[in-house]
Structure 1
């Protein structure tokens, strides 16, 4: 079978696979084997990579690069002892091969011995012609150690070697963000942009930092420069839209979001933001249209369903709000926010049993906010489930042990359950925690509030605190 490199850009791979199918034996030079092996490793075909290594070393028994690729596979398979033995053999022959140090570092990294990995990577710097790659690996090891300042400095060295290494730039900003050093990030980006004034990614990252610091004019200017550098940069238009929203310039924000729809596939984020802008402008029909597009584009985006639900809640259209939150729950029945909205809507519709179920589900899924507990309790009070309400509040006290709003409710419930001793105990605790909130008793338990015992306790406490 004739082969021509003009017929197939992946000619060595095609030739190798043909050899495997026909059981013929073809000769490849060592570089071809390296390319074949890299191809299989990059595409996740480890078994074929191992086959190519085996045949390659059969034809080129002394090839260091092929042995290093074999070591790489061994490390991938966690066969560290075999890999280390091979590295020792190679190191005895080639003391200045940087890849030997890199692979030793790889082994230590996979064993979670990141300091040792860094030591070997720093040794590799003495022999490499590509400092940027080594500094990037060192930076990643520092990230494993949660040493963000050291990692940042390594990624900055990568950028010193290659200013267009945007992966390194993102890592630098990630470190600044983790360190909550937005001023440092801005300072670095300004110096970076001084030498790389047409870096759209640099301007984009600067804009995000300014936005974090609520420096909206500066953020807007940075995103404009990102767009000047690359007028197809969708991310810059999206971020510019967010800034314009914050500035109350909703019409201009919409224009930027619309541009992203023309430049690339539609995104649920753009649709959602456009809906929010139209709602702010009082254009309810357009707002609804884009909220519907949001959930159609991405039915799993909870912010889209919440936006539609809240839209109808603001209009006091509880039936519509209930319809959409139920659709959302049908898609994701484990979403805490959905259940909490469901509880609020059912409460407004006086569907207290359904509200009870929704609040219970909200708590079961891990929402322990104070207002969730108190709202659930108030629903149970409305349906006369006093003992259940006490049980709920005692659970809540485990999370908020000194919360007066809980103590007042427990007190009122115990009085209703004809357990005045416990009622008095919890009332006194509540008064001690926050006397000013005692109106809760009057609001939720008017009969209890009018009792002589309760009025006397409140009056005595007030006199004692003067």
Structure 2
């Protein structure tokens, strides 16, 4: 009987699919059913995987491997009770099968009982010499518990079993990074590279650790070794470019970024970095060209729109800067820095109400910097919103008690609101803490400053400071 076209690549699979189409019944080895099931699971075809297991267990009812695959699917479907019954039956027959314990640990993990999962995985370690996968699972369980030290040790043990397990290598470095143990990471990576000197991933990670310590010369050497080990390693070129930027070697940085454009499809990140370098070099037309390429390549990259915003802002073209900052905000409306830029640009365009709203949004998002409060209150002054300005400044004083810049502004606002008593109180407070800044009153509140009573108060503190 003819089978499907891919029979030569996977004869059992072709035979099985032919059987499903014809309703004929063919006999398969247990291993064939395992292979077929794995194929469907890897392809995300769970229904077909379950069909293969069902027929497989009809033909091989005692196959523990097929039953374990059945358990794997049951766990995936959160049918833990049924899975545990099968595992208990298997354990009674094969008490030394570590896969049974691994599956039980998986169930406990999915039920958030990670400590019990860890205990079972440690038991499984004593049953086999092939421990790499178990150490990897242990590492993940420790991560669930935020026990980064134990997770790190588990992933290192995994690498000791299988030094080419790059997922474990990344996880080791993740743990070192979380523990902020950059020196420990460097020591570990150097030891690993002594055994695996051409591992581009390890060289790349070593370079990133040196960057964290601002050891840029060593970082460049590490990225060079990563590139030497794999001259198509895009990540190494990008990281090297960033270091060269920090060292103000912009032309060399551009060269590295441009290499990545030829290795694979161009990335918006590479275009952005090239644009930034040209901007630093004063190549403004080239900078603008690459910034526009950035957003053309990825219209949802907010950093691209910000780059264009800053470009036009520096040129004094605030209308265009406003257009592009709004693009960035539409992509990421929770970014405080974008709202601060929006506030400043709107202020320069004399769009004070829009500037007021932007500062308000920045504060709502948790930006409590002194300058934000000061700039916001100055906008409210321009709008004549004295009560709102007073409310804003009183909020600011909670973060910066008795700060002179805030006190002078509060004094002026209260005087303008015809509350001379509070105005005098805050003016004296400001003068007491920083007399030298009293010209703030003259600059922001000239009508108030020219009042005889206000001048007398300032003059009295001048005499006191002599």
Q: TM-score by structure 2 length?
A: 0.92
Q: Deviations over 1:136-178 (max 9, x none)?
A: 1111111111111111111111111121111111111111111
How far the C-alpha of 1:314 sits from its partner, in A, is 1.5
10-19 or 156-165: which moved more?
Answer: 10-19
In 2, the alpha carbon distance for the partners of 1:164 and 1:309 equals: 44
- The correspondence of residues 153-302 of structure 1 with structure 2, limited to 5 A, is 153-302=153-302
- Aligned twin of 2:305: 305
Alpha-carbon offset, residue 425 of structure 1: 4.0
The reply on whether 1:88 has 2:88 as its aligned counterpart is: yes
Give CA-to-partner distance per residue, 1:210-262, whole Å, 9 cap, x none: 11111111111111111111111111111111111111211111111110000
Match of 1:102 in 2: 102
Distance in 2 separating the partners of 1:464 and 1:44: 82
Please show how residues 276-425 of structure 1 align to structure 2 within 5 Å: 276-329=276-329, 335-397=335-397, 400=400, 403-425=403-425
Cα distance per residue 1:124-144 (max 9 Å; x no partner)? 111123211111111111111
Partner Cα separation in structure 2 for residue 335 and residue 3 of structure 1: 58
Q: What SS does the corresponding residue of 2:25 show, helix, strand or coil?
A: coil
Shift of residue 90 of structure 1?
Answer: 1.0
Using the TM superposition, give the Cα deviation of residue 438 of structure 1 relative to its aligned residue in structure 2, in angstroms.
4.7
C-alpha distance in 2 between matches for 1:400 and 1:447: 27
What is the DSSP-based 3-state SS (H/G/I as helix, E as strand, rest coil) of the residue aligned with 2:7?
coil
Cα deviation digits, residues 336-363 of structure 1 (max 9, x gap):
4333222211211222233223333434
Match of 1:2 in 2: 2
Shift of 1:286: 0.8
**RMSD (CA atoms):** 2.5
Listed as ranges, the gaps of 5+ residues in structure 2 are none
Corresponding residue for 2:51? Answer: 51
Task: State how far apart, in whole Å, the 2-side matches of 1:78 and 1:63 are.
Answer: 23
CA 1:421–1:119 in structure 2 vs 1: closer, same or farther (change >3 Å)?
same
**Alpha-carbon distance in 2 for matches of 1:372, 1:33:** 66
| Gap change, CA 1:456 and 1:203, over 3 Å in 2 | same
Deviates more, 1:230-239 or 1:76-85: 76-85
Matches of 1:54 and 1:146, distance apart in 2: 39
Report if aligned partners of 2:27, 2:59 keep a CA contact under 8 Å in 1: yes
* Structure 1 runs not aligned, ≥5 long: none
Instruction: Measure how far apart 1:27 and its partner are.
Output: 2.4
Q: How many residues align?
A: 466
Which is further off, 432-441 or 92-101? 432-441
Contact 1:300 1:332 in 2 (8 A): no
| Structure 1 residue 34, shift from structure 2 partner | 1.3
- Say if 2:3 and 2:18, in contact at 8 Å, map to a contact too: no
* C-alpha displacement of 1:430: 4.8
Q: What residue number does 1:42 align with?
A: 42
**Distance in 2 of aligned mates of 1:403 and 1:13:** 76
Q: Secondary structure at the match of 1:7?
A: helix
Cα deviation, residue 315, structure 1: 2.0
CA shift, 1:31, in A, is 1.2
Cα distance in 1 for residues equivalent to 2:424 and 2:203 = 64
Distance 1:112 1:429, change over 3 A: farther
1:132 alignment partner in structure 2: 132
Query: What is the 5 A alignment of 1:11-22?
Result: 11-22=11-22
Counterparts in 2 of 1:410 and 1:22: CA distance versus 1, 3 Å: farther
3-state SS of the aligned residue for 1:448?
helix
Q: 1:122 to 1:320 in 2, by over 3 A?
A: same
Find out whether 1:60 has 2:60 as its counterpart: yes
Between the aligned partners of 2:126 and 2:465, the Cα distance in structure 1 is: 75
Partners of 1:24 and 1:435 in 2: CA distance: 98
User: 2: distance between equivalents of 1:459 and 1:117?
Assistant: 75
